[in-house]
Structure 1
Amino acid sequence: MKLLQFVCLASYYGFARYLPVSYSKPFGKISKKIRYYLCKNIFAKTGHNANIERGAYFGKGTWVEIGKNSSIGVNSHIQNNTIIGDDVMMGTNTYMLDNTTHNFARTDITMIAQGKKKYADRSQVIIGNDVWIGRDVMILGSKIIADGSIIGARTLLTKNFPPYSIIGGNPSKLIRSRLEPKD
């Protein structure tokens, strides 16, 4: 990690993460600009007019890519290797969880004492362009959210869906395609 990247990461988690949301008056616009500047120096790619909202968590962030006009929602938790396309709206409290799991096979010792699996695959979430992720969505493991998709609030995303899907539920299911005419 480069020195500037480290300083920006420390500044983000030290104070910028706690600045007001981008839409608040009177300090929202400057808060958005501060977080954008810091993340531009942390992320692998930061598109024009990207918005990292208050409380967003992204680990070290060195592998995160975010496209133009896209946002990471208030208090959202994304993985370090997430790729976010252009024009993505992400709701509050979106969580992306990787495949790291705990050992639990033995019953003679506690699960916490068994630790995590050593060779758990690191997952990656790829979010296409023109995607809307609703509030409180949880994304499990490696997922590709295809272009034009809408994921409804409180959805537990457990699998991939085709482009222009409207997805909802726990577990997730296809509600309909945006390409189909609405009755």
Structure 2
Amino acid sequence: MLEELLEHLNAGKALIAGNEFEATMQSVSIQTQERLAEMNNSYHTDEEMRAKVERILGYSIPESTRIRQPFYMDFGKNIQFGENVFINASVHMQDQGGIKIGNNALIGHQVVLATLDHDLEPSKRGNLHPAPIVIEEDVWIGANATILKGVTIGKGSVVAAGCVVNKDVPPYSVVGGIPARVIKNLTVEEK
């Protein structure tokens, strides 16, 4: 059932409250939260953290990936890590819609990656709408930034601390603010 759920989510199809896919997602999420509680309650080396995250994900991640504690995932089954990725403390990944992190990405303290929205209509508010987040290679995301569903952060870009990104970020640009907007394009020397 998990494979079918992942196909459903990765196709961008809604999760309807009370249906079988939503129930499976809740079950997987509870198991993930149990494992995260165990993982985040004591110190672990980079190698130990990687192994514990792999156990939750159910697949291998690059040896060059470093994840600081505490680390949080809602679902724990739909994240791809590139080479030489650094995840700082207290990052929250709502990964049902899919998160792809490119090589050499740096993700600061308390960043939130949110791949789901609830329905706007009050009577359907329990329904969830997924869309992936793509963080291309050489991206730096500052502390406390929030990246919303369906957003791609272009290669070599910088997301300023504390901003909310609700639209794609062009490659080699710096964005900041709420909502985030381009505040600088990187020069040839800075690239």
> TM tier, shorter chain?
0.7 to 0.9
Report the alpha carbon displacement of residue 72 of structure 1 after superposing the two structures with TM.
Answer: 2.3
Equivalent-residue separation in structure 2 for 1:171 and 1:70 (angstroms) = 26
Report the alpha carbon displacement of residue 99 of structure 1 after superposing the two structures with TM.
Answer: 3.8
Query: Are positions 1:93 and 2:95 aligned together?
Result: no
Residue 169 of structure 1 aligns with which residue? 177
Q: How many residues align?
A: 160
Taking only the aligned residue pairs, the percentage that are identical comes to: 21
Query: Are positions 1:70 and 2:85 aligned together?
Result: yes
More helix by share: 2
Q: Which has the higher contact order (CA 8 A, sep 6+)?
A: 2
Q: Is the 8 A contact 2:32 2:74 kept in 1?
A: no
- Partner-residue secondary structure (3-state), 1:171: coil
C-alpha change, 1:63 and 1:104, in structure 2 (3 Å) is: closer
Per-residue CA distance 1:48-85 (angstroms, 9 max, x = gap): 22112212111232221111110222111112221111
Residue 34 of structure 1 aligns with which residue? 48
Residue 148 of structure 1 aligns with which residue? 156
Report the alpha carbon displacement of residue 46 of structure 1 after superposing the two structures with TM.
Answer: 1.1
One-letter amino acid matched to 1:37: A
Report the alpha carbon displacement of residue 103 of structure 1 after superposing the two structures with TM.
Answer: 4.6
Report the alpha carbon displacement of residue 102 of structure 1 after superposing the two structures with TM.
Answer: 4.8
Q: Is the 8 A contact 1:100 1:116 kept in 2?
A: no
TM-score under structure 1 length normalisation: 0.75
In structure 2, stretches of 5+ residues that fail to align are 3-30
| The one of 78, 83, 89 aligned to 2:100 | 83
One-letter amino acid matched to 1:15: E
Report the alpha carbon displacement of residue 157 of structure 1 after superposing the two structures with TM.
Answer: 0.6
| The one of 98, 118, 125 aligned to 1:116 | 125
Q: Is the 8 A contact 1:146 1:161 kept in 2?
A: yes
- Partner-residue secondary structure (3-state), 1:57: strand
Q: Is the 8 A contact 2:119 2:129 kept in 1?
A: no
Equivalent-residue separation in structure 2 for 1:10 and 1:171 (angstroms) = 30
Report the alpha carbon displacement of residue 41 of structure 1 after superposing the two structures with TM.
Answer: 3.4
More strand by share: 2
Per-residue CA distance 1:4-41 (angstroms, 9 max, x = gap): xxxx9577413222334xxxxxxxxx432211112233
Equivalent-residue separation in structure 1 for 2:36 and 2:143 (angstroms) = 23
Q: Is the 8 A contact 2:160 2:175 kept in 1?
A: yes
RMSD of aligned Cα (Å)? 2.7
TM-score under structure 2 length normalisation: 0.72
